[in-house]
């Protein structure tokens, strides 16, 4: 019953916000100049990047490794957040509240990342959103009391929520649509590999050290390294955009 009500409530929201084409918003397709009309046949993907070319490029690995590291850090932290906080003296109720704020941060990122990607260079958006998660991890590492764990949970959630939206956007901009699903599949696999490795590594480290704090510090450093890598992405591929200028 609750699920049915949620679905029914979502229908008018989707109908209000969803648009069929850029023209309905007074916009032009990507790359079109004001007043320029682009033939849909120009988007057949014949000049896009094939997977055999993509995986050999530096760009591919500058996307894959950062998202693997960010996913490892996110999921390692998120799935251990409640025991981490209760281990520091928070009540189970407060720890659960902090964990729920991870979802709130993810929701904000999901709603805001698309808006930001339409306005700014995608790697810049990724750096900004992922930096918020780094700040969240640093706050958790600090062990500060009060409202800090709640703020940290929210900030970590921002990066986690943006990651899945940014990956396909980067693929479309750097590699085009001809092999989009193939390329995205491997990059999403890197994301999932991080999600698989993060929680057990976090738990293994805790069993050896007896504290989450050093592990959180390592995760924060790994996100900084990931941010450094993704910031090295250059302009969108000329190969990808050649069909727009044609």
pLDDT in tens, 29-47: 554 555 555 444 344 433 5
Mean pLDDT on 64-73: 93
What is the reported pTM? 0.74
pLDDT above 70: residue 122: yes
Whether residue 174 contacts residue 240, with contact meaning beta carbons closer than 8 Å, is answered with yes
SS3 sequence of 186-233: HHHHHHHHHHHHHHHHHHHHHHHHCCCHHHHHHHHHHHHHHHHHHCCC
Distance CA 67, CA 192 (A): 9
- 135-176 pLDDT, tens digit per residue, is 999 999 887 888 888 999 999 888 877 887 899 999 988 888
CA atoms within a 13 Å half-sphere pointing along the CA-CB vector of 24: 6
Mean pLDDT on 102-115: 86
Whether residue 226 contacts residue 66, with contact meaning beta carbons closer than 8 Å, is answered with yes
Distance CA 94, CA 100 (A): 10
Query: Residue 236: what pLDDT?
Result: 81
Domains of the chain: 50-245 (1.20.1250.20)
Can you read off the two tokens belonging to residue 71?
């996913």
Distances (CA, A) of 124 to 29, 157, 205, 221, 239: 22, 18, 32, 19, 21
Query: Residue 50: what pLDDT?
Result: 81
Can you read off the two tokens belonging to residue 58?
């530096």
Confidence at 221, pLDDT banded by 50, 70, 90: very high
Query: Residue 163: what pLDDT?
Result: 80
Lowest-confidence pick of 47-51, 112-116, 228-232? 47-51
């Amino acid at each position: 019953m609750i699920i049915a009500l949620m679905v029914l409530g979502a229908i008018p929201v989707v109908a209000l916000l969803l648009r069929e084409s850029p023209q309905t918003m007074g916009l032009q397709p990507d790359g079109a100049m004001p007043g320029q009309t682009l033939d849909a046949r120009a988007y057949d993907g014949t000049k896009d990047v094939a997977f055999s070319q993509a995986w050999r490029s530096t760009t591919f690995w500058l996307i894959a490794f950062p998202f693997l590291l960010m996913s490892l850090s996110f999921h390692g932290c998120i799935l251990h957040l409640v025991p981490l906080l209760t281990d520091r003296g928070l009540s189970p109720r407060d720890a659960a509240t902090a964990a729920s704020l991870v979802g709130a941060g993810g929701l904000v990122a999901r709603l805001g990342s698309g808006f930001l990607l339409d306005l700014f260079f995608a790697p810049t958006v990724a750096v900004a959103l992922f930096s918020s998660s780094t700040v969240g991890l640093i706050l958790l590492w600090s062990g500060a009391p009060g409202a800090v764990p709640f703020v940290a949970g929210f900030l970590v959630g921002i990066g986690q929520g943006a990651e899945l939206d940014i990956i396909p956007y980067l693929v479309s901009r750097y590699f085009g649509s001809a092999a989009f699903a193939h390329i995205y599949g491997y990059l999403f696999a890197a994301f999932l590999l991080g999600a698989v490795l993060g929680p057990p590594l976090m738990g293994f480290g805790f069993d050896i050290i007896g504290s989450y704090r050093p592990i959180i510090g390592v995760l924060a450093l790994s996100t900084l390294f990931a941010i450094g890598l993704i910031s090295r992405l250059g302009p969108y591929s000329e190969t990808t955009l050649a069909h727009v200028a044609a």
